[in-house]
Amino acid sequence: MSALNRSIALAGAGAIGIPILRALLNHPNHPKVVVLTRPGSKKDLPSDLSLATVIPVDYTDVAALTALFKEHNIEVVISTVPPPGYVTAQHALADAAKASGSVKLFVPSEWGVPTEGAKGEGNLFGVKDEVAEYLKSIGLPYTRIFTGLFTSFIPWVIGADAESSAYIQGTGKTPFTTTSEEDIGGFVAHVLTSLPLTSPDLVNASLRIQGQKITLQECARLLNKSIVLVAEGESIPAKTDGEKHLKAFLQTQMEGGMASTGWDRRSNREIEGAAGSANKLWEGHVWQTVASSFA
Ligand SMILES: NC(=O)c1ccc[n+]([C@@H]2O[C@H](COP(=O)([O-])OP(=O)(O)OC[C@H]3O[C@@H](n4cnc5c(N)ncnc54)[C@H](OP(=O)(O)O)[C@@H]3O)[C@@H](O)[C@H]2O)c1
């Protein structure tokens, strides 16, 4: 079957779902896209995406999801559901994808650091790895896409979105991967509408993309923020305690090298050449940098 007019279901259109949706709808291969939304949710898409097909569906209703995938002949399911929905919503989406007979590929809600081997860590990365294990266990072909930190989230992680300083825990000198949301969307749209869905580049593959390798200290300088070094456990400015803990957790991961898309949690080391190794699937693309994103 031609890659043109591929049918794709996108579960969740928020921080990363919207750039993915935008890239899909603007792609020259013209995929047919349906956006899934929870019943009762007020889904206000940006005005340039207002013509997208949005279908309310209960993520706990596997039969309803299966019928939806069959009716729209969905070939690819892309999940961008956030943490509260990682397990319940994604297991239901996966079960329905498997039962539909039409879905050939499932893209789980990774969109961050490499999580292979994180199962059992008791954190959000562990849960993402467990979802991938579930996809394996039901024999549903999947593609995991690792991106590092979204570029627009860098000021938030160092508390520099609301403050004149950047709050860095540890040295802030360990390089990590960042990729802009626009590039993530473009990459997803490119590989999922251009490659055969049976391609070994996609089937049960982990794609490690990278816009740029950079340190938090370099980011602070690019953002013109003075640096405040904070000890582990000291506060990084945040709106809630939950955010504070998340920022501290993410900075610990970054300091330890785990936020590079070349990192392997199973061997606890950087694999040479792995960071950005999937960039080659989007030949000729010029990836955005932190400097170009915040210019
Ligand atoms: N690497 C990074 O820097 C970074 C940053 C942020 C997020 N992420 C990752 O990106 C993924 C998506 O995060 P996001 O921030 O884009 O998500 P989000 O914007 O918080 O949510 C996306 C959409 O999912 C739906 N949703 C909300 N709660 C749900 C639930 N419990 N069950 C099912 N659907 C739910 C909502 O749509 P409806 O209301 O229409 O149903 C929402 O608009 C996650 O895996 C997250 O870890 C990575």
Q: What is the DSSP string of 57-115?
A: --TT-HHHHHHHHHHTT--EEEE---GGGHHHHHHHHHHHHHHHS---EEE-S--BS--
Task: State residue 1's pLDDT score.
Answer: 40
Give the torsion sign (CA, 87, 31, 142, 149). Answer: negative
- What three-state secondary structure class fits 202? coil
Q: Whose CA is nearest to atom 17 of ligand 1?
A: 82
How remote is the CA of residue 181 from the centroid of ligand 1, in Å? 13
The confidence score (pLDDT) of residue 220 equals 97
Distance 2 CA to ligand 1 centre (A): 31
Does 14 sit in the ligand 1 pocket, CB within 6 Å? yes
Q: Which of 36, 45, 59, 80 is the best mutation target for the ligand 1 pocket, counting ligand atoms within 8 Å of the beta carbon and taking the most?
A: 80
Quote the tokens at residue 13: 């259109």
Phi, psi of 248 (to 5 degrees): -65, -45
Specify the pLDDT at position 42.
86
Interval between CA 41 and ligand 1 midpoint (Å): 13
Q: Write b or e for each residue in 43-68: b if 16 or more Cβ atoms lie within 10 A of its Cβ, otherwise e.
A: eebeeebeebebeebebeebebbbeb
Place of tokens 């792609």: 27
Contacting residues for 187 by C-beta, under 8 A, at least 6 apart: 145, 209, 278, 279, 281, 282, 285
Q: Residues 125, 116: contact at Cβ < 8 Å?
A: no
pLDDT at position 231 is 87
Determine the distance from the C-alpha atom of residue 50 to the mean position of all C-alpha atoms in its chain, rounded to a whole number. 22
Torsion over CA of 135, 246, 11 and 41, rounded to 10 degrees?
140
- Is any ligand 1 atom within 6 A of the Cβ of residue 153? yes
Point out the ligand 1 atom lying closest to the alpha carbon of residue 43.
40
Q: Is 81 in the pocket of ligand 1 (CB under 6 A)?
A: yes
Which pLDDT score is estimated for 4? 64
Residue 133 contacts residue 200 (beta carbons within 8 Å): no
Nearest Cα neighbor of 77 from 280, 44, 168, 68 is: 68
Q: Say yes or no: CB of residue 177 within 6 Å of ligand 1.
A: no
Strand 105-107 relative to strand 76-79, pairing: parallel
CA 58 / ligand 1 centre spacing (Å): 16
Q: So what's the pLDDT on residue 128?
A: 98
Would you give per-residue pLDDT tens digits along the chain (295 residues)? 445 689 999 999 999 999 999 999 999 999 999 999 999 998 789 999 999 999 999 999 999 999 999 999 999 999 999 998 899 999 999 999 999 999 999 999 999 999 999 999 999 999 999 999 999 999 999 999 999 999 999 999 999 998 899 999 999 999 999 999 999 999 999 999 999 999 999 999 999 999 999 999 999 999 999 999 998 777 899 999 999 999 999 999 999 999 999 999 999 999 999 999 999 999 999 999 999 999 8
Rounded Cα distance, 84 and 63, in Å:
21
Angle (deg, nearest 10), helices 62-71 and 86-100: 50
* Tokens 């397990």, located at residue: 87
